[in-house]
Structure 1
Amino acid sequence: MGRTGETTTEAANGVRERESPGDGVEVGVFQGNWLVRMWWPEGAIAGGPQRLTVTAVEDAPPGEVRRGISSTVLRRLDIAGAVRRAQALAPQAPPWRIASERLEDLATRTGDVLAAEGVSDRYLARLCGLYDDLARRGVRAPVPWLAERIGRSPQTVRDHLKAARRDGLMTALTGKSGGELTDRARVLLASDPDFPGP
């Protein structure tokens, strides 16, 4: 946990935390003779870790290590607490900071298409492409971000996303932001020379 460019802290409660600017966020928790490392990619942290690694601590008794990881070690993990610590460690800048100029420009141009064409398939495909990109980056509230840049209310953008799903441009994820772009949406985006895609 000590590569160049990282910040590592170890609290008295046995929690190790790491933030590596281009590498995501890692939180480690000691459980008996085991160190459990939980990792999230760079961006907003909206759920559990994407990687979990369990290793024996250096001074663990060999007999304990030979017996391996017990289900008790895994059941005692405080995933919710680790998520909160990872959220506190995550950079405060928007998760799309590297692509922010590109996304801002695409969103503005998508608003221009709406103004020129109305709620067309081209506009809906662009909206879905942007929404999908923001949701994949872990943005918790992509609709208000899009609404501000497109020049419409959040409710209008939600209605447009519902229309896009109804028209077969994007699937729905129950209770979550995002969805998968359909083949139809991908074809529309690929044929739009002014939209390089997310």
Structure 2
Amino acid sequence: MKADENGFEVTQEQGGWVIHMWWPTGPVSGGPQRITIEKAEDAPAREVARGISTTVLRRLDLAGAVKLVEENAPQAQEALEDVAGALNQLGTMAGLLLEREGVSAAYLAVLVSAYKGMSDSGAPAPVPWLARLIGRRPETVKGHLKQARRDGYLTTVTGKAGGELTDKAKAALSAITEPGQE
């Protein structure tokens, strides 16, 4: 098994095939998010000539792979707690900016940065979480996120939470972290 700050990879061999299964860092809630199957370097031609069979797929030890990742998840839990702490700080900062400046460019940039981080971490319900940190109702935060998208701070991801920070959002965040830039 390999692990890094992004996730865990478990590798299994089945006949002439090497299967890589990947989970993101965070709570393990089921099977892998990505599976890659490729020919093993020393695979006999006869084993790979007809491609990946259903037999290869049925022989995957998903339960064993999940167990292995769960056993190693405590290390990932520490990293997740660090990320959660940073996201809490961003959310709190957004609340302070909202109190001080109203719905400003700085507030929208910090809000979408916290929202994106929470969405990317796979945590459920980022809007209620942000609403608690900011001290506003979820409907208000949803309205601010819609405004941030309209104003060009966050891209849209159809059908799910999240998006990408735009150059406009990155510039606004940079102005906050580097005083004197406007």
Identity of aligned residues (%): 38
Alignment-derived partner of residue 80 in structure 2: 96
Q: Verify the 8 A CA contact 1:24 1:39 in the aligned structure 2.
A: yes
- Which has the larger helix fraction? 2
- CA apart distance, 1:189: 1.0
Alignment-derived partner of residue 177 in structure 2: 193
- CA apart distance, 1:29: 6.5
Alignment-derived partner of residue 148 in structure 2: 164
Q: 1:162 to 1:45 in 2, by over 3 A?
A: farther
Letter in 2 for 1:146: L
Letter in 1 for 2:140: T
Q: Distance in 2 between matches of 1:124 and 1:75?
A: 49
Q: Distance in 2 between matches of 1:45 and 1:124?
A: 32
Alignment-derived partner of residue 159 in structure 2: 175
> Does 47-56 or 31-40 show the bigger shift?
47-56
Alignment-derived partner of residue 128 in structure 1: 112
Cα RMSD for the two superposed structures? 3.9
Letter in 2 for 1:103: L
TM-score, normalised relative to structure 1: 0.65
Q: Distance in 2 between matches of 1:156 and 1:138?
A: 22
Alignment-derived partner of residue 121 in structure 2: 137
TM-score, normalised relative to structure 2: 0.70
Q: Distance in 2 between matches of 1:182 and 1:133?
A: 14
Gaps of 5+ in 2: none
Alignment-derived partner of residue 65 in structure 1: 47
Alignment-derived partner of residue 36 in structure 2: 52
Alignment-derived partner of residue 24 in structure 1: 7
- CA apart distance, 1:152: 1.6
Q: Verify the 8 A CA contact 1:147 1:153 in the aligned structure 2.
A: yes
Q: Distance in 2 between matches of 1:121 and 1:74?
A: 56
Q: Report the count of equivalent residues.
A: 172
- CA apart distance, 1:193: 2.8
- CA apart distance, 1:51: 5.6
Alignment-derived partner of residue 24 in structure 2: 41
